[in-house]
Structure 1
Amino acid sequence: MIGPTLDAAGAVLADLVALQPCAGASPDVTVLCADVTRSVIAEAFPGALVPVIDSAGSMQVNVAASTMSDWRRLKPILLAFAGPTLTGFDGVPEPFDTADPVGTRLMLAAPAVTAIMRLPGDDRSRIAALRAVLRARDTLARAPELQRLAPVPTSWLLTRFQDYLNVGRRDAAAAVLERLRSEFRLDALNIKFLEVQLLAIFEDWTRIVALPEFRSLCVARRTPATTAFLLEALYRTYIAEPFDAENVAGTRTAFETLVQPFIQSMLITGAPPGLQAGGWRLLGLEALGSGHGDLLSILADRMHELGWIADLLPARVSATPQAAEVADPIDTAREALIQAEAVDSIDLLTGAMAAIARLSSDELALLRETMPFRPMVQATDELASITPPTSWIAWLDRASDPAFTNALDFARRGKDEWEIGASVGDPVAVRALVAALEKVQGDELAGDRTTQALPYLVAWLQRDAEFPRAALSPIYGRLLTLFALGSARGATIYESSQVLVEALLAAGLDQKAYHDLIADIDEIAGDGFGVDMVYWVLGLVESFMNAAAPDASARETFLHRILARIVPIYGRLTRLQRIAVTLLSSELGWPLPVTPATDSPSADDDLANRLAGLRIAIYSLSDSSSRQAKSALEEITSAVTVDTNADHGGSVRLRALAENSDIFVITWLSAKHAATEFIRKHRGSSTLLYAQGRGFSSILRAIEDHLSH
């Protein structure tokens, strides 16, 4: 059905019938056209299909969906029943021709998406295509229960994307990004920003600069985090080599010819949060060439980031107090609005709203009547009742408010903008955040929102240069407890919880905190878990085995209990998962009990055939993990060649492995190591996988996931 009500849809159908869209068709085609057109008033159908014959005799079916949700349901069904084999429909939206009266009438119903299915020229093929369209319509009509299932919200997909990035699951994050793109969840620009984020997390800087849209991204309205990524990509691609060689002339030439035009197009007025050393150096080079006073002020406290550039910068001249002028309130508001319009920043938006609030009624009226400020003021008016939070504590205080419907959106942006440095090592700030986290436990809505925002909170904590930090252990522990008690623990967002577990173990725990950690993991795992959680569980087991234990007896009991929960599903595990379970249980001195599940042969997952003939390289700073992964893979088949490496810098052997291996795996915790940049440089476009943990089970998981797709 098209339109908000059945009566409205009926009016659309009446108008379409009056237009006689299939005039001149054969009787058989005419009957089918009338039947297809009744989709306009079919309440169980997500949209409208209207066949049309134009003046030249060409025939097409106009497709209209009222909402993006309807389109996501409609597109795959139409592709399945009447895709490119029968029609010209390939699933890509397309506007109606302005000369098409049927399309013009459908547009009056304000559809969210339109598309066109072009039909063949002969009657026989047209009849086959129209019948296929009818079967698609009837299939949806016979499955009303599927239509009531709420689709996964876009905000949840974005949260899942961040969750995978937190633990280095590049392929999984890329799959979420592709879903967001294929289902038209976001516009093309925001999809590209997410792609930049993904590439930046894995330090794939040259691919960012090589994006065809890179120049457009530099001039578009961006978040501060995206700006920081673009700057770092420019530095690493064009400037790092001559800068490291202290080639002053070469650095300045490369900057002026290859980088400066992009910097100037970004219109940077302040240092974006999260700016890395490369970005600071580009701002230093820009200030070096222009003597820009504002840039010099920004760089004043960052001279240690600039290297030899700092010695070349002119001294910043401070304005005397007498020279300072008090800006007019309306000028301040104009400047704040311009900055908020140019940069998608919570802080700038908050500043603009505060500046507008200080205006008199006459000044506000003048601003509302003046272009280009009128639409900017209108936009802030719409947000007047939603004061943006400026910290996680403010966000948590608002989490119980039913009107705070864009909580996850603010969390997604706040993870990059909200200060982390001021919180570390400050017991008062730590206690305040822990208290805010404890408070949300007493409210169901606040607890659910905080649980859903867990990946963003973890990403924010990971911005700490010394993560994991012992002083922040109370925050790590409280977040993990919230997640254990939250309603989303049974969903797919549990990867970031492993980051918290490893952070707590690395930071060191007393006996009570250790017992609390075990209790939280027990709660998250539940009484039983599925095959999809096995690698997650094995990763936790390895983390506990590798970390110091304030209570060895409690650790042993816990690990045996966790492994025992795998026994009922052992028969459903892949061969590689079984080998991993057996290796870990043997290390614990706990042989798996013989049951029908453990004694049965594993399903033939064809992994041996897929591994045979491959050369796999594993780079990890933990030799034992690499050796265990190598042993497990070779147990699957002797036809696989597995090489391990832990060199701390570029070497002839490491280069040979990078250039010649079919699959190269880097453990995520080694991904920031100097040698990994060397690997990426010589790997080119060949397969490079990231294992999310430091243990061998995460290496096996990365390989198995890759070979399964």
Structure 2
Amino acid sequence: MPFGALDAELAALCSAVSDSIADPNFPGALIPTLDATGDIQVMIVAPTVASWRRLKPVLVAFAGPTLTSFDGIPEALISGQALSDRVAQTQPAVTGIMRLPADRRARMTALRALIRARDTLARAPELQRTAPVPTSWLLARYQDYLNVGRRAAAAEILGRLRSELRLDSLNIKFLEVQLHATFAEWQAIVELGGFSSLCVARRTPAITGLLLEALYHTHLAQPFDAQDVAETRRRYENLVRPLAQPMLTAPAPAALTAHGWRIYGLEALQAPDRTDIADLLVQRSDDLGWVGGLLPVSSAHLESAIAAEAPLDIAREALMRVDAVDSNDLLADARAALARLAPEERALLREADPFRPPMQIAELLEATVPPTSWVDWLDRAADVSFVSALDVARQANNEWPINATAGDPVAVQALAAALDRAQVSDVAAERTAQALPYLVAWLQRVPDFPRAAMTPIYASLLTLFALSRARGATTYDSSQVLIGALLTSGLDSKAYKALIADINEIAGDGFGIDMIYWILEIVEDLGELRCRYQIHRRADVSPETIAAPRATVKPRLRIRSVAPRESELHWGWLWNLLDFCGG
């Protein structure tokens, strides 16, 4: 601020008062200025009404009517002055003007009082603090953002987990891998600090698959697609194999893609004695590309090899896999292997140092039958002793198979029934609400998602999203995935009305700016639905064809002008948003 007309001492005090502008702990700003007659005025600016309520009593107490003209009553800024007009452009909620007396000594006293008021507010505790959020909720919210591609929001959660020391550095790195993989940033994964350590660390099968995927895209994709056998094998030997070898174990990760299987195939070419890998590749010829044609025909089968292996050897291998990979399925395999051992064989494993830690983990959980599907998980969710429910759900997202459920109407109905049963118990309902982002991510793994056969699951989960808001849940972004899936799969009039009711419930009576992206996605999906209806109507097709698959052409039409009678929307907030956006 220009205070050249004042002496040095007054100018320094005015400058100190104006420091409130940049103070993040000060609820507004105090801006000293000189009027045309040389008198000192202090503009009081509050960005919100709540800030004004906090600021006013302190200013009245420190520099009220006994020292200045300020009596706590708001006052508009004087227009026509450059500084006042510039402050007005920030659109403050409340403003006031504090006029200082003409006497120099009184001015200095008032300015010192304002500095004390500023320091007092800076030291005051924040009375409105958000309640601590459990780490499990933050992880569920992280998955929720990844499901809908909100990279910045997911990165913010990741930064909070890191800054608040919620997780160890290894798990933070794994979440970084998941973030980059969601947006196909494979080079960024390979360039992560300590990438080579991630390849040998204890990790989940899902992270193993993503690390292999990153190695393939970064080093092998180009020569492999060009069918340059020599260059592909050279790059694998020099660049990929030293990192990939610790991860190439049996069984392979459940969610391993064709690119990961190609690395398995290249390892089988490089090391023909790896019969464990060769047996895995027997049924994977479609994923291997040209590598499959170079592999020798395996004369052994995995089943016969396991049958010939001693139970103690099987248990040793299972425990070593548990020690290397954090997996629900591998832990279940280890417990099953231990159950086949005689007491003296168990004692032998307990005495061996390499097997003692995984042996303790397996035996500790041996009496508890772990869930092996979402139906099992939902049935167990009501058990208060099932304290690892969310940890199991987070891993199940990538481990439990989806294809069998998606192709079997009986399995679909069983899952839908399990979802309904889980709502009877408050504990199960709360756990299910927190696990919804993982369930949605699991559903998206099915090829050609969404599938019409899975409509009952999509509808049940969307209803749970609507109900969970009543319990304060904040992981609602994944609901837009389900809404789009339901609209794509096709709905009759009754189901469509139920969908609108769920959307209305999730949105609530009013929505904040944090929901704007969610709202816009819903508007786009509903707008596309109406475009499909318009296409069918012009072709003289009945309104029931609204349930047909999406048209390949997506004309841009005004949403309100083509809405059919049976799908009229009665939520004012949507029309207000459409009007705001120009229809």
TM-score greater than 0.5 by the shorter chain: yes
The question of 1:534 aligning with 2:551 is answered no
Taking the TM superposition and a 5 Å limit, the aligned residue runs for 1:191-590 are 191-291=172-272, 292-318=274-300, 325-487=307-469, 490-547=472-529, 548=532, 550=546, 552-558=564-570, 560-563=571-574, 566=576, 581-583=579-581, 586=583
- Match of 1:453, SS? helix
Contact kept, 8 Å, 1:221 with 1:341, in 2: the verdict is yes
User: Does 1:164 find its partner at 2:145?
Assistant: yes
Deviates more, 1:224-233 or 1:539-548: 539-548
Deviation at 1:532, TM superposition (A): 2.5
AA aligned to 2:229 is V
What amino acid is aligned across from residue 426 of structure 1 in structure 2? Answer: D
Q: Distance in 2 between matches of 1:320 and 1:364?
A: 25
In the alignment, the residues of structure 2 paired with residue 534 and residue 229 of structure 1 have an alpha-carbon distance, to the nearest angstrom, of: 31
Residue type of the alignment partner of 2:572: R
Query: Take 1:322 and 1:143, find their aligned partners in 2: how far apart are those partners?
Result: 67
Cα distance change of structure 1 residues 214 and 325 upon mapping to structure 2, 3 Å threshold: same
1:422 to partner: Cα distance: 1.2
Structure 2: how far apart are the matches of 1:288 and 1:327? 25
CA contact (8 A) 2:469 2:506 kept: no
Structure 1 position 382, deviation (Å): 3.0
Q: 1:323 to 1:186 in 2, by over 3 A?
A: closer
Q: Using the alignment, how far apart are the partners of 1:324 and 1:183 within structure 2?
A: 46
Alpha-carbon shift at residue 489 of structure 1 (Å): 6.7
Residue 341 of structure 2 aligns to a residue whose secondary structure is coil
Letter matched to residue 541 of structure 1: V
2:240 match: secondary structure: helix
Q: Residue type matched to 1:391 in 2?
A: S
Number of matched residues? 433
CA contact (8 A) 1:337 1:376 kept: yes
SS in 1 for 2:371: coil
Q: Which residue of 1 aligns with 2:57?
A: none
- Shift in Å, 1:288: 1.3
Structure 2 counterpart of 1:428, which letter? V
- CA offsets, 1:242-269, max 9 Å, x none? 1111111111111111111112233522
Distance in 2, Cα, partners of 1:200 & 1:366? 42
Displacement, 1:554?
3.9
The AA in structure 2 aligned to 1:279 is G
Deviations, residues 653-700 of structure 1 (Å, cap 9, x unaligned):
xxxxxxxxxxxxxxxxxxxxxxxxxxxxxxxxxxxxxxxxxxxxxxxx
Pair 1:315–1:512, CA change in 2 (3 A): same
Secondary structure, counterpart of 1:423 in structure 2: helix
The alpha-carbon distance between structure 1 residues 143 and 167, as it changes in their structure 2 partners (threshold 3 A), is closer
Following superposition, the deviation at residue 325 of structure 1 comes to 4.8
Inter-CA distance 281–479: structure 2 relative to 1 (3 Å threshold): same
Q: What per-residue deviation string (whole Å, max 9, x for no partner) do you get for residues 482-540 of structure 1?
A: 12122467543110001100010011112221111111112212223233323322321
- 8 A contact 1:161–1:173 mirrored in 2: yes
1:367–1:377 Cα contact (<8 Å) kept? yes
1:386 and 1:404 in contact (8 A); partners too: no
Q: CA–CA distance in 2 between the matches of 1:489 and 1:502?
A: 24
Task: Answer whether contact 1:489 1:524 (CA < 8 A) is retained.
Answer: no
The residue correspondences of 1:27-106 to structure 2 (distance < 5 A) are none
Q: Give the whole-Å Cα distance in 2 for the aligned partners of 1:163 and 1:224.
A: 20
Q: Is the 8 A contact 1:483 1:489 kept in 2?
A: no
Cα deviation, 1:255-294, whole Å, max 9, x if unaligned, reads 1111111122335222212112211111111111212222
Cα contact 1:483–1:497 (8 A) shared by 2? yes
- Change in CA separation of 1:506 and 1:411 when aligned onto 2, cut-off 3 Å: same
Rounded Cα–Cα distance in structure 1 between residues aligned with 2:219 and 2:408: 39
Contact kept in structure 1, 2:436 and 2:461, CA below 8 Å: yes
C-alpha separation between the residues in 2 aligned to 1:439 and 1:239? 48
SS of residue in 2 equivalent to 1:442: coil
* Deviation, structure 1 residue 384: 3.6
- Structure 2: which amino acid aligns with 1:355? A
Corresponding residue for 2:94?
Answer: none
**1:139 Cα deviation after fit:** 7.0
Give the Å deviation of 1:317.
0.9
Amino acid at match of 1:435: A
Q: 282-291 vs 360-369, which deviates more?
A: 360-369
Structure 1 pair 488–272 and aligned structure 2 pair: CA distance change class (3 A): farther
Task: Show the counterpart of 1:686.
Answer: none
Distance 2:305 2:524 in 1: 63
Taking the aligned partners of 2:298 and 2:499, their CA distance within structure 1 comes to 51
Post-superposition Cα deviations, 1:40-64, rounded to whole Å, max 9, x if no partner, equal xxxxxxxxxxxxxxxxxxxxxxxxx
Residues 176/488 of structure 1: CA separation in 2 closer, same or farther (3 Å cut): farther
Name the stretch that deviates more: 149-158 or 419-428: 149-158
TM-score (norm 1): 0.58
5+ long unaligned stretches in structure 2: 1-118, 534-545, 547-562
Aligned 8 A contact 1:367 1:373 in 2: yes
Q: Letter of the aligned partner of 2:246 in structure 1?
A: S
Quick one: structure 1 residues 545 and 143, their matched pair in 2 at CA, closer, same or farther if it must change by over 3 Å?
A: closer
Structure number with larger C-alpha Rg: 2
Question: Could you tell me whether the CA contact under 8 Å between 2:500 and 2:569 is conserved in 1?
Answer: no
Residue by residue over 1:162-217, the C-alpha shift from the partner in whole angstroms, topping out at 9 and shown as x without a partner, is: 00000001111111111111111000001001100110110000111111211101
Q: Deviations over 1:577-611 (max 9, x none)?
A: x7x65335x3xxxxxxxxxxxxxxxxxxxxxxxxx
Whether the 8 Å contact between 2:493 and 2:566 is mirrored in structure 1 is: no
Tell me the residue number matched to 1:25. none
CA distance in 2, matches of 1:490, 1:267: 43
What is the deviation of 1:322?
A: 8.6
Shift of 1:219: 0.7
5+ residue gaps, structure 1: 1-134, 567-577, 587-709
Conserved 8 A contact 1:260-1:286: yes
Q: 2:474 & 2:180 partners in 1: Cα distance?
A: 23
Going from structure 1 to structure 2, the CA distance change for 1:499 and 1:249 (only over 3 Å counts) comes to same
1:219–1:265 CA contact under 8 A, matched in 2 = yes
Look up the equivalent residue of 2:565 and give its one-letter code. S
What one-letter code is carried by the residue in structure 2 that aligns with 1:243?
F
Change (3 A) 1:402 1:536: same
The secondary structure found in structure 2 opposite 1:404 is coil
Contact 2:510 2:573 in 1 (8 A): no
TM-fit CA distance, 1:326: 4.1
